[in-house]
Structure 1
Amino acid sequence: MDESDTAAILPGDVLSATSTGDQMSNSVGRKDEPDVPTTGSVRPPFTCSLPVSVEPVLFLSMFSLALQAPLSTQYLWDRISEDLGYNGTKRSECSNGSVTPDPLQKEVETLTAHWNLYISLGGFSVGLLVVPFLGSWSDLAGRRPVLILPNLGLALQAVVYLVVMYLKLPVVYFLVGRVLSGLSGDFNAILAGCFAYVADTSDRRSRTFRVAVLEACLGLSGMLASIIGGQWRRAQGYINPFWLVLATNLAAALYAYLFVRESVLPDPSTKLLTTRHHKAVWHLYSTGGSSSEGGGRFHRCKLWLYTLCFFLVVTVHFGSRELYVLYELSSPLCWGPALIGYGSAAQHLAYLSSLLGLKIMQRCLEDSWVALVGLASNITGLVVFTVADTTQLMFTGYGLCFLFMAATPVLRSKLSKLVDPSEQGTLFASVACVESLCFLVGSGVFNSLYPATLHFMKGFPFLFAAIILFIPAGIIGTLQCLDQRRDHRESTTS
């Protein structure tokens, strides 16, 4: 069934059982359908009068993740330093290079980086298997379980981290907590559930903006957590901030249980542990999904091409973001904590400016052209970062990137519109796994490229990132031109 045949619903409306229920069991209801009695698994105990649905869930989950990530790295640094007997501190000021590096500090840095890698890979490898299960399962069993279970898993991870800190257990137990979180789907399952929920409860016209609102939630919660986490850790250490991490995850799960209404009609006979869910992911990308009847090959190509665009754009975002602080700390910028904080705030404010710009541009431009404007903003900012040798020039780059987040919500929306309503969970679970892969690839490539190119061009990784972004820009522009030509041909023949 084509997605345009169904109207959007307000968050929380549920499809009632009608004579056509067998054909539309995983679609969303219509705005004009009255509420009907539903089971307790569909309707939450309370209703929320605010015009929000899953945005608070994503905000709280991202807040806890952004709060704990730098704190856990710093804790690993301190614990490994204590175990090795290293009493120095990590230098953050500019150095003239005449000071002999401490070999013990280098060992601490190496071990900290390795443990960070082990912990990230542990969560990623487990989540790569679990998230497709949960995403495809949510298409049949409902979205609410996929919003609740991963938050409980993240809360369990926070409990393990707290036990390690209180008892000063070996840092290998951090890996145990990360794997336990991965078994519940981790943050990627929450991403998949939230974006699939928005796809369920929005029409084709409003979907891009609704997705952009979720993207803005990610940026704002990350900025708030970064500000709070650093100050709190300096004032009270690690343990109290991790209690907030635990409380935030529990609050997200509780909100999803109490206030988020189901957006699909659950099938009580659906099983979680079955190969059917992984087969659904294979079917989606091998055939183009259930909605590709009649033009399957071109439809499938578009699905793969937009996924490739998403991979490249997000890899550049993750990879370049990890270099900003390192670039600003060293010569010739030599920024201190205050300027670095302002730069981070400017970067996160771009989430809001991108949201506003997207809303304005949608009045006169197609989504694809909005994405190209966002990519152009990102490219020009990266080119300026390449040659930035003064504070003014660096902030000019941040200013030029004010629309850099306009491309990713468009790509998510494009992918969502290519698949059937009954495949939204499967799609966004796949996209969430791609996003995790983007983090690993971006971190590995750009952190390796930066030291390798220092001898001839310090800002070369930013130039490399700008060049990479021309690939998705070309793909998006070409597909949009092909779609317009096809629409024009169909209108003239009819």
Structure 2
Amino acid sequence: MKRLLLVEPVVALYSLANLAVSVLIQQYIYRRIWERETNSSYIDNENSSHCYQNHSDPVYMKQQVVQGLSSHFFMYINLAQFVPGLIVTFILGAYSDRYGRRLTLLLPSIGSLFASLAFLAVAYFSWSIYVIFIPVTLNACFGSFTTLFGGAFAYIADISSSKQKNMRMALLDMIVGVMGGIGVLSSGYFLRAEGFNWPFLTVSLINFANIVYIIFFLEESVQVSRNEQDQISGYGNIREILSGILIIYTSSDFRKRVQIGMLLLAFSTFALAEFGGSGLFILYELNTPLCWNEILIGYGSAAGLVTFLTSFLGVTMFSHYLRDIFIVLIGMLSFVGGMVMAIFATTTLLMFLVRLVSLLATMPFPVLRSMMSKSVLPKDQGALFACVACLENLSGTFSSIIFNSIYAATVEQFTGFSFLLAACLCLIPVCILCFLLWWKPQGEDCARLVTNEDCS
């Protein structure tokens, strides 16, 4: 049977399952903490969640305590994933340059299946919410989303020409948004109709289907002979894998190393701001004055993920007229506008308008990946995207620590302070990109990180 050089279905199924389960598990934890702290069951109606707005009501104070405890719990979950996810992503990313990309796609899918089944068991048997740390950590040991997306982007780099990379990588981001939007939108209705058990079971079946596709239908993009695979083993194999990460810098001249390093810094700082600001939306929406229920949260999360589709269209259109750096700057401006509006979003309409202003907010991610991919050799794509994925994981973890802690400390005085911080952090990548725009490479050193047409 002929296999397919199509990694998009893997990303689609993984995004559908895991973005849905991330929204579900946050709401599950919030409800369990609510029940523990208020000694009452979590009740919602068709219009709003179990939300108190009278500041003199004693239950309102408990509601703020639940907000802070939930924020810290989400932070600890991210910390549990950090170290194993970072190590596995580095090793598997560099490993894939020599032995193929399929393992970087298969292992995270297996870990995701185990995690979703464990979440189902916790919900079905009403186990302690602290049991959730076990599947979360196990999932990270299999690589989690950073390894899978890093492998998928390296797979695209393997099979795409230089001119196609912007579009293909933006297409992957669009698939994440569209399929994730379907997942989170349907999760609200599914949760309302069936509770938590059936949604977690459905996610498990989707993860299983993804594993079947990777094993039986996906073609390998890196062809390695059996003799080459047998050349290195044991300690030498590990050393060879890790050396692939360092070769990105050691094989380059000073000017090129500086540009790659600055692009990685711009990517990681923007990811810190984007993950930190956007990651607080669900807690913010559950709190007063919005008081959203699971249906509105599903709509809001889906509207946020539509930005992946609109950002793909934006990259497609702007790539014909603008240089890469200008596309990134437009996307960052869109994100900053959304964060500033979120500070003042006290009604449902304004909260949806936040997503409207942020329609181009994810454009920087695929374009920055493409810019870095064009600067390294094809044999180093896996190592590069391992670095990018690890920085993304690092940024996601630190953003969770920083923004959840700040949100918990400021939820009563200035709820929107975290969004203001996210907007201000974007000044760092903007300054870096403006410097790269001014500091143009010359002659043979020109890998054209800024654009591909200007070298001569």
Same topology, TM > 0.5: yes
Instruction: Note the 1:33-52 alignment, pairs <5 A.
Output: 45-48=1-4
Q: TM-score, normalised by structure 1?
A: 0.78
TM-superposed CA distance for 1:207, in Å, is 0.4
Instruction: Note the 1:120-199 alignment, pairs <5 A.
Output: 120-199=78-157
Do structure 1's residue 220 and structure 2's residue 183 form an aligned pair? no
Instruction: Note the 1:267-416 alignment, pairs <5 A.
Output: 267-269=228-230, 271=233, 274-276=237-239, 279-280=242-243, 283-284=246-247, 288-290=249-251, 292=252, 296-328=253-285, 340-389=297-346, 393-416=350-373
Do structure 1's residue 58 and structure 2's residue 19 form an aligned pair? no
Larger relative helix fraction: 2
Say if 1:126 and 1:183, in contact at 8 Å, map to a contact too. Answer: yes
Given the superposition, is the C-alpha separation of residues 217 and 242 from structure 1 closer, same or farther in structure 2, using an over 3 Å criterion? same
Given the superposition, is the C-alpha separation of residues 289 and 234 from structure 1 closer, same or farther in structure 2, using an over 3 Å criterion? farther
Give the Cα–Cα distance (whole angstroms) in 2 for the partners of residues 107 and 464 of structure 1.
22
Given the superposition, is the C-alpha separation of residues 418 and 155 from structure 1 closer, same or farther in structure 2, using an over 3 Å criterion? same
Give the Cα–Cα distance (whole angstroms) in 2 for the partners of residues 80 and 454 of structure 1.
17
2:419 aligns with: 462
TM-superposed CA distance for 1:76, in Å, is 4.1
2:374 to 411, 414, 417: 417
Given the superposition, is the C-alpha separation of residues 396 and 168 from structure 1 closer, same or farther in structure 2, using an over 3 Å criterion? closer
Given the superposition, is the C-alpha separation of residues 129 and 76 from structure 1 closer, same or farther in structure 2, using an over 3 Å criterion? same
Given the superposition, is the C-alpha separation of residues 484 and 365 from structure 1 closer, same or farther in structure 2, using an over 3 Å criterion? farther
2:404 to 444, 447, 470: 447
Q: What percent of counterpart residues are identical?
A: 33
TM-superposed CA distance for 1:136, in Å, is 0.8
Given the superposition, is the C-alpha separation of residues 139 and 397 from structure 1 closer, same or farther in structure 2, using an over 3 Å criterion? same
The residue identity in structure 1 corresponding to 2:2 is F
**What are the superposed Cα offsets for residues 238-283 of structure 1, whole Å, 9 maximum, x if unpaired?**
2222222221112112112222211112242254874325632651
2:431 aligns with: 474
Do structure 1's residue 67 and structure 2's residue 28 form an aligned pair? no
Partner secondary structure for residue 58 of structure 2: coil
The residue identity in structure 1 corresponding to 2:219 is R
Give the Cα–Cα distance (whole angstroms) in 1 for the partners of residues 141 and 454 of structure 2.
53
TM-superposed CA distance for 1:138, in Å, is 0.7
Larger Rg: 1
Say if 2:158 and 2:381, in contact at 8 Å, map to a contact too. Answer: yes
Given the superposition, is the C-alpha separation of residues 473 and 268 from structure 1 closer, same or farther in structure 2, using an over 3 Å criterion? same
Give the Cα–Cα distance (whole angstroms) in 1 for the partners of residues 314 and 83 of structure 2.
37
Given the superposition, is the C-alpha separation of residues 465 and 492 from structure 1 closer, same or farther in structure 2, using an over 3 Å criterion? closer
Give the Cα–Cα distance (whole angstroms) in 1 for the partners of residues 206 and 223 of structure 2.
28
Give the Cα–Cα distance (whole angstroms) in 2 for the partners of residues 345 and 489 of structure 1.
41
**What are the superposed Cα offsets for residues 422-444 of structure 1, whole Å, 9 maximum, x if unpaired?**
11111212211211222222222
Q: Which runs of 5+ in 1 are unaligned?
A: 1-44
Give the Cα–Cα distance (whole angstroms) in 1 for the partners of residues 416 and 368 of structure 2.
28
Partner secondary structure for residue 418 of structure 1: coil
Say if 1:148 and 1:254, in contact at 8 Å, map to a contact too. Answer: no
Give the Cα–Cα distance (whole angstroms) in 2 for the partners of residues 332 and 78 of structure 1.
18
Given the superposition, is the C-alpha separation of residues 394 and 427 from structure 1 closer, same or farther in structure 2, using an over 3 Å criterion? same
Given the superposition, is the C-alpha separation of residues 473 and 97 from structure 1 closer, same or farther in structure 2, using an over 3 Å criterion? same
**What are the superposed Cα offsets for residues 48-89 of structure 1, whole Å, 9 maximum, x if unpaired?**
4xxx71111011112221122233344445566777893232
Given the superposition, is the C-alpha separation of residues 157 and 475 from structure 1 closer, same or farther in structure 2, using an over 3 Å criterion? same
TM-superposed CA distance for 1:452, in Å, is 4.5
Say if 2:180 and 2:302, in contact at 8 Å, map to a contact too. Answer: no
Partner secondary structure for residue 378 of structure 1: helix
Q: State which drifts further: 95-104 or 310-319.
A: 95-104
1:256 aligns with: 214
More contact order relative to length (CA 8 Å, sep ≥ 6): 2
**What are the superposed Cα offsets for residues 141-166 of structure 1, whole Å, 9 maximum, x if unpaired?**
11112212221222223333344445
Give the Cα–Cα distance (whole angstroms) in 1 for the partners of residues 328 and 268 of structure 2.
14
TM-superposed CA distance for 1:380, in Å, is 2.6
Given the superposition, is the C-alpha separation of residues 260 and 337 from structure 1 closer, same or farther in structure 2, using an over 3 Å criterion? closer
Give the Cα–Cα distance (whole angstroms) in 1 for the partners of residues 172 and 17 of structure 2.
16
Give the Cα–Cα distance (whole angstroms) in 2 for the partners of residues 178 and 283 of structure 1.
30
Figure out how many residues of one structure are paired with residues of the other and give that number. Answer: 441
The residue identity in structure 1 corresponding to 2:368 is L
Do structure 1's residue 433 and structure 2's residue 396 form an aligned pair? no
Say if 1:369 and 1:477, in contact at 8 Å, map to a contact too. Answer: no
Say if 1:377 and 1:404, in contact at 8 Å, map to a contact too. Answer: yes
